A = this chain, B = another copy of it.
Amino acid sequence: MCEAYINKPLGFKAGGIYAGLKTNPGNSGNTDLYDVALLYSEQPANVAGVYTSNLVKGHSLVRSIELIDRKKPLKAFVINSKVANSCVGKNGLDDAEKIAECAASNLGISADEVLTASTGTIGVRLPVDKINAALPKLASSISADAGDGHKAERAIMTTDTVPKEVTAAVTLSSGKEVIISGMAKGSGMISPNLATMIGVFTTDASIDIPLLNKLLRSAVSHSFNRVCVDGDTSVCDMVTIWANGASGAVIEEGTSDCELFLEALTDLATDLSRLIAKDGEGATKLLEITVDGAKSDKDAMLIVSAVAKSPLVKTGFFGEDANFGRIITAAGYSGASFDPDRIDIDVAGLPVCRDGIMLEFDEDEAAKLLHEDEIKIEITLHEGESFDRMFTCDFSYDYVKINGSYRT
């Protein structure tokens, strides 16, 4: 599957438009003048979603959760960037509803078939007039073309520097092929549960809602829930999957087809997660942290999380400084239970700690390995069988720069 775009599965259309929400759009090099995305399924699609664990939830998201919880098929999804539509009070829900109504009337469907999502600055009212003025043109321009899919992805990006689109084809036991596509935006305020503000999957397989829910949760648990940029969990995070059945192929629970589908979906989610970490705000390196031999799954998760979130670890890798004591330090304060005298650590394949003792190593070799743009940090505890993995990035001057002036 060469080119990846969200509207590649049969029966999906997509597009993006510039509605005047983003300022100085040509300036950041990451916008290409799009800020409102529209996804449309010709046939009603089953939709499942997972959402931010933040107690504070954006209004567009709250509206979408209510719609998905009704378990009725949906047809369209409007996503805007620049304004998060969060913490603005009751108006927030009304604003999202007005946009859904406008999209619905332009698509000839009902507003309760239209999901909404918003990402951007918190505490600012959505410019409903601007969005609704752009929707007629957007609704009439959506297509199944790759170019329009890319516009949709461009429209949901905020500080992302590269688009994040993935596609896979799954050949079922019947010989039939179904397609799964995904797109996502990062790239700051990224933390497990969820790890991205917006992720969308589409497929032309037919999958009932209970199974779709299970598949999405399983795929997300070790991908989107295992990526961290700065440990901040956004109030707008959501990942949805849309299954419209346009391929005619049905996926049922407990079948080998279901396993194949889940495997492909998990791979795509993992690919998107890696892309998000690698494109973390200001990132110069992708860091993949693994813990093996932990006493429990929780211990393994605590350690990968602590290491992935440690500003000392992350700035050290940015500076390509072989200060690996910070990794064992983060493991030590993670809350996980382990014997510090048995821990082994390898960085980029180089043994740096054995039995809790930091090893001497060739500084030139370390400098060369640390210069790579993808680095594995492998921690082994020799306490049990549990494993976990997290993707993160280094912490650079540019992270500070981007987030010291995001709003302006």
Contact = CB atoms under 8 A, between A and B. Distances in A.
Contacts of A312: 188-189, 230, 232, 403
B123 A353 contact: yes
Interface string A313-331: 0011011111111101111
Nearest to A235: B329
Interface in A312-371: 312, 315-316, 318-326, 328-333, 336-338, 340, 353, 355-358
Contacts of A330: 232
A396 interface: yes
Interface in A51-94: 52-57, 84, 86-89
B87 A315 contact: no
Nearest to A405: B319
Interface string A391-408: 000011101111111111
A332 B56 contact: yes
B311 A232 contact: yes
Interface string A104-145: 000000000000000001111000000000000000000000
A126 B231 CA distance: 35
Contact of A315 (B56, B309, B333, B399): B399
Given A332-B54, A340-B55, A358 B321 contact: no
A399 B326 CA distance: 15
A232 B188 CA distance: 20
Given A55-B338, A310-B231, A404 B325 contact: no
Contacts of A191: 333
A54 B232 contact: no
Q: Which of A333, A358, A397 has the most CB of B within 10 A?
A: A333
Contact of A232 (B87, B88, B333, B397): B333
Interface of A: 52-57, 84, 86-89, 121-124, 188-189, 191, 230-235, 309-312, 315-316, 318-326, 328-333, 336-338, 340, 353, 355-358, 395-397, 399-408
Given A56-B331, A234-B329, A397-B400, 14 more contacts: A54-B332, A56-B356, A88-B357, A89-B356, A123-B353, A123-B358, A124-B358, A231-B309, A232-B312, A232-B330, A235-B332, A311-B395, A397-B397, A399-B400
